[in-house]
Amino acid sequence: MELVQMQKSLQDYTKSLFLDGVLDSQFLQLQQLQDESNPDFVSQVVTLFFQDSDRILNDLSLSLDQQVVDFKKVDPHVHQLKGSSSSIGAQRVKNACVVFRSFCEQQNVEGCHRCLQQVKKEYYLVKNRLETLFKLEQQIVASGGMIPAMELGF
Amino acid sequence: MTVEQQDCVALDQFPVGMRVLAVDDDQTCLRILESLLHRCQYHVTTTNQAQKALELLRENKNKFDLVISDVDMPDMDGFKLLELVGLEMDLPVIMLSAHSDPKYVMKGVTHGACDYLLKPVRIEELKNIWQHVVRKNRGSNNGDKKDGSGNEGVANSDQNNGRANRKRKDQYNEDEDEERDDNDDPSSQKKPRVVWTVELHKKFVAAVNQLGFEKAMPKKILDLMNVEKLTRENVASHLQKFRLYLKRISGNQQAIMANSDLHFLQMSNGLDGFHHRPIPVGTGQFHGGAAAAGMRPFPPNGILGRLNTPSGMSGVRNLSSSPSSGMFLQNPTDLGKFHHVSSLPLNHIDGGNILQGLPMPLEFDQLQTNNNKSIIAGNSMAFPSFPTQQQSSLPNNNNHLVLEGHPQAPPSAFPGHQINKRLEHWSNAVSSSSSTLPPPGQNSNSLISHQFDASSSSYSIPFCDSTIPLNPALDHTNPRAFYRATDMDSSANVQPGVYYDSLQMRKSGNYGPTTDAMLSSNNPKEGFTVGQQKLQSGFMGGEAGSLDDIVNSTMKQEQSQGDLSEGDLGYGGFSSLRTCI
């Protein structure tokens, strides 16, 4: 594939993520923070996010599977996931966490289970999309090209 | 007196190179925060553990200018860290959280945070955080937080609460206005910090006592103290803190008999906007003078619960021998006599910061007029919780007395005690608005000696009168703190339209500047629990040893403060202490 085409694909792909609400402007901030002195910033941060989130989702599954659900443990996890997802711009994950927390407050186990599923769904979605995004970027770089800056205002 | 010099390099280019310590257990957020801060050209140190952060800070108090900390951390509550940092290091602390709930923001304010940011943090918000460093430096050097705002705060609080205090405040304000030297170079000025050690504070108190609580003026106090390198501004600032502290402790209408230099110092040195209150009676030295001199007799009943029984508490005990102002457990009938409840050794000053915030007995007139008010052993209140290892070494005399005092404490109304509701046993005493002291043993602090518990239970400190804005600067001068959304449009990073979600989220978390009302309403809840807690742990109950020993041991155990106090009595109260100012 031609470099220009790859770059265009990347841009379109990224745009779609924003338009779908999978990512929000916070992700753009992250991209802005990436520069020569910090060349892999975004992928580093996102990797950290994946690590943390995998762990949290795991803990959440375990907690919710208990006979007696300890919401005092569940809530902080969800809260943390909400914080980190919002920090990287994973908007839908964050929104799902918000809903999740309200069910936690109500101590609604059934509701929490559903929320957890939703969060997981959104999480795997954004994970998948971001991984694709990074692959596209790598391809461009490997071909000697530059990652195009995101166009603002589309 | 120690004077700490600021880092000259940082000063020159400030805010570039401002040294920030970022604490967040979430590594994703921490990494992002670090990058954002770097982008702002700050010098960043990160850690994901609050304990580590404390160690770093304690290692060298001058190593950092500002601390940004997450609220929810597994090893230590962010608010606890906030309090500790404020107390020990007097650094501005910014809270960070994904909680946009107003009550968290409020908690941040009451615990003394300079600002409260919502996650996800945006770079625009971080670009201006240096203002908190400047503000703090100016405040601590000028005697009021920010020109005018400190007075404003004091004025507001007084208007709302303290009728008795108004006169003094006005007098103080006038005094300040007359004598205050304006800071000519505010934006980049960083003055060396004065550390109010116990010794220094004792001198201060002695001077205040000598001059008379109401008449004490910074200039005169300064002259009396005769300490090199201490400026009038330092004294004025300390005086203001002291007054507010006392006021807070005693409630609007009562003065605290507490004779705890330690406590006050602890609080004042660390807390933002902590206003001093001249304590008429405090130290042994004072005691002699006060009792004898016609200083308005300090009704032994004092301020907070009446701990002492008439029989036991009469007379001054150990006052002359104990350097530090112990708590006063007052016998209602023994005006002017102080029972030195806790003679915490003042001699040992660990880093000079230990003996802070010892509340000195407040307004004598108040005490006088409120004979029925229960007095809380000042020391128990005053001392920050020092998990002292020396508890056992302290004589139990006072405790004993205190205990005895409980049942006999006249059920005096305890106005303004709502502040201490959070204190477990203390709050019982307080909220019941009677001086009937709850039975000892309700102490939630395991470190507190049993005896101490008894006294502390009777010790109700109407801590925060609360109309005083916690942080006048925060309140009045930095409304931006609560309006995170304002920068959105200006940022080129922000996509118009579609991607404002995160911004919207932030907006929702914005609240107007905390009003005095809010502060006041919350302060009582906060009470002085942490301080109480600390006092409890540190308070050996009575004459015990020297204040210094207790302070020392307390300081040694600072590390364990996290363990020390759990739940409400712990840092929560402490934090409120800060905010009460």
H-state helical runs in B183-301: 198-211, 218-225, 232-250, 261-270, 284-292
One domain, residues B133 and B239? no
Nearest-angstrom CA–CA distance, B460 and B212: 25
Residue B529's pLDDT is what? 39
Taking the Cβ of residue B505 and every Cβ of chain A, the question of whether any pair is shorter than 8 Å is answered with yes
pLDDT value of position B330 = 38
Helices marked H in B450-540 — which ranges?
A: 450-458, 472, 501-508, 516-526, 529-538
The answer to the question of residue B239 being in a domain is yes
Q: Please tell me which of the candidates B26, B36, B503 has its beta carbon nearest to residue A83.
A: B26
To the nearest whole angstrom, how far is the Cα of B120 from the nearest Cα of chain A?
Answer: 4
| Of A2 and A84, more confident | A84
Chain A residue at shortest CA distance from B31 = A45
Mutant choice from B502, B504, B508 vs A, greatest count of A C-beta within 10 A = B502
Residue where one domain finishes, among candidates B138, B163, B189: B138
Give domain status of residue B153, yes or no.
no
Measured between CA atoms, the residue of chain B closest to residue A56 is: B26
Cβ pair A87:B32 closer than 8 A: yes
Q: Is residue B448 part of a domain?
A: no
A16 at the B interface (CB within 8 A)? no
| B436 lies in some domain | no
What share of chain A has pLDDT > 70, as a percent?
Answer: 96
Contact across the interface for B29 and A83, Cβ inside 8 Å? yes
pLDDT of residue B190: 52
Identify the pLDDT of residue B70: 93
What residues of chain B lie within 8 A of the CB of A25, using their CB?
A: 493-495, 499-503
Q: Which chain B residues touch A44 with a CB distance below 8 Å?
A: 31
B37 and B134, same structural domain?
yes
Predicted local distance difference test score (pLDDT) of residue A51: 94
pLDDT over 60 (residue A115) = yes
| pTM, rounded to two decimals | 0.46
Higher pLDDT, B12 or A89: A89
Chain B residues lying within 8 Å of A33, measured CB to CB: 32, 35-36, 39, 123
* Pair B28, B134 in one domain: yes
Of B31, B119, B505, the CB nearest to A48: B31
Please list every residue in chain A whose beta carbon sits closer than 8 Å to the beta carbon of residue B488.
Answer: none
List, in sequence order, the alpha helices (H) in B327-396.
Answer: 364-369, 378-382
Last residue of a domain, one of B112, B138, B164: B138
Please state the ipTM of this predicted complex: 0.92
Please check whether residue B275 touches A, CB under 8 A: no
| Minimal Cβ distance to B98: which of A86, A89, A91 | A86
Element spanning B95, H or E: strand B93-97
pLDDT score, position B38? 92
Q: What's residue B37's pLDDT?
A: 93
SS3 content of chain B, % helix, strand, coil (to 5): 50, 5, 45
pLDDT score of B201: 81
Q: Which residue, B529, B541, B510, is CA-closest to B569?
A: B529
Structural domain boundaries, residue B71 = 19-138
Nearest 5°: CA angle at B173, between B149 and B156? Answer: 50
Contact B457, B439 (CB under 8 A): yes
Contact (CB<8Å) B35/A33:
yes
Whether A99 has its CB under 8 Å from any CB of chain B: the answer is no
CA angle B65, B76, A106 (to 5 degrees): 125
Name which of A19, A33, A91 is nearest B36 (Cβ-Cβ): A33
A88 neighbourhood in chain B, CB within 8 Å: 28, 32, 120
| pLDDT confidence bin for A153, thresholds 50/70/90 | low
In contact, B245 and B157? CB cutoff 8 Å: no
- The four Cα atoms B201, B206, B207, B211 give a dihedral, to 10 degrees, of 140
Question: Does A129 lie at the interface with B, CB-CB under 8 angstroms?
Answer: no
Do B502 and A86 count as a contact with CB atoms less than 8 A apart?
A: yes
How confident is the model at residue B11, as a pLDDT? 53
Looking at the complex, report in whole angstroms how far the Cα of residue A42 sits from the nearest Cα belonging to chain B.
9
CATH number at residue B247: 1.10.10.60
Q: Which of B22, B62, B88 is nearest to B571 (CA)?
A: B88
Decide: residue A144, CB within 10 A, 0-12 exposed, 13-18 middle, 19+ buried: exposed
- Residue at B202 is within a domain: yes
Question: Domain boundary at B91, B120, B138, which?
Answer: B138
For helices A25-33 and A71-88, angle between their N-to-C axes, nearest 10 degrees? 60
Instruction: Report CB contact under 8 Å: A79, B119.
Output: no
Selecting from A32, A79, A91 the residue whose C-beta is nearest the C-beta of B72 gives A79
In a domain, B358, yes or no: no
Neighboring chain A residues of B498 at a CB cutoff of 8 Å = 18-19
The answer, for A14 touching chain B at a CB cutoff of 8 Å, is no
Closest-CA residue to B376 (of B426, B422, B333): B426
- The angle at the Cα of B484, spanning B478 to B487, to the nearest 5 degrees, equals 100
Residues in chain B with CB shorter than 8 Å from the CB of A152 are 492, 495-496
Structure-token pair, residue B248 = 């807070």
Q: Give yes or no: residues B222 and B120 share one domain.
A: no
pLDDT tens across the length of chain B (581 residues): 444 444 444 456 778 889 999 999 999 999 999 999 999 999 999 999 999 999 999 888 788 999 999 998 888 888 988 888 888 888 899 999 988 889 999 999 998 899 999 988 889 989 999 998 888 888 766 644 444 443 443 444 444 444 444 444 455 444 444 444 444 444 444 556 677 777 788 888 888 888 887 878 888 888 888 887 788 888 888 888 888 777 776 765 444 444 445 556 555 554 444 444 444 443 434 343 333 444 444 444 444 334 444 443 444 344 344 443 434 333 444 443 434 444 444 444 344 344 444 444 444 444 444 444 443 333 433 334 444 344 344 444 444 433 333 444 444 444 444 444 444 444 444 444 444 444 444 443 433 334 333 343 333 334 434 344 444 443 444 444 333 434 334 444 434 444 444 444 444 444 444 444 443 444 444 434 333 444 344 334 344 445 455 445 555 554 444 444 444 443 433 444 444 44
Q: Do B493 and A25 lie within an 8 Å CB cutoff? A: yes
- The verdict on A38 touching B (C-beta cutoff 8 Å) is yes
Measured distance CA(B300)–CA(B396) in Å, rounded: 19
CATH number, position B30: 3.40.50.2300
If asked whether residues B36 and B131 sit together in one domain, one would say yes
Q: Which residue is closest to A35 within chain B, CA to CA? A: B39
- Asked if A52's CB is within 8 angstroms of B32's CB, the reply is no
Q: Does A87 touch chain B (CB under 8 A)?
A: yes
Contact yes or no for A83 and B32 at CB 8 A: no
Q: Are residues B30 and B109 in the same domain?
A: yes
Number of domains in chain B: 2
Instruction: Please tell me if residue A39 touches chain B, with a CB cutoff of 8 Å.
Output: no
* Residue B40 shares a structural domain with residue B109: yes
Residue to substitute from A87, A102, A105, interface B, most B β-carbons within 10 A: A87
Please give the residue of chain B at the shortest CA–CA distance from A34.
B35
CB < 8 Å to A24, chain B = 499, 501-502
Residue B13: count other Cβ atoms within 10 Å of its Cβ: 11
B116: in domain: yes
CA B264 to chain centre: 7
Shortest Cα–Cα distance, A119 to chain B (Å): 17
The answer to whether residues B280 and B249 touch, using CB atoms and an 8 Å cutoff, is no
Q: Between residues B323 and A97, which one has the greater pLDDT?
A: A97
User: Is residue B115 assigned to a domain?
Assistant: yes
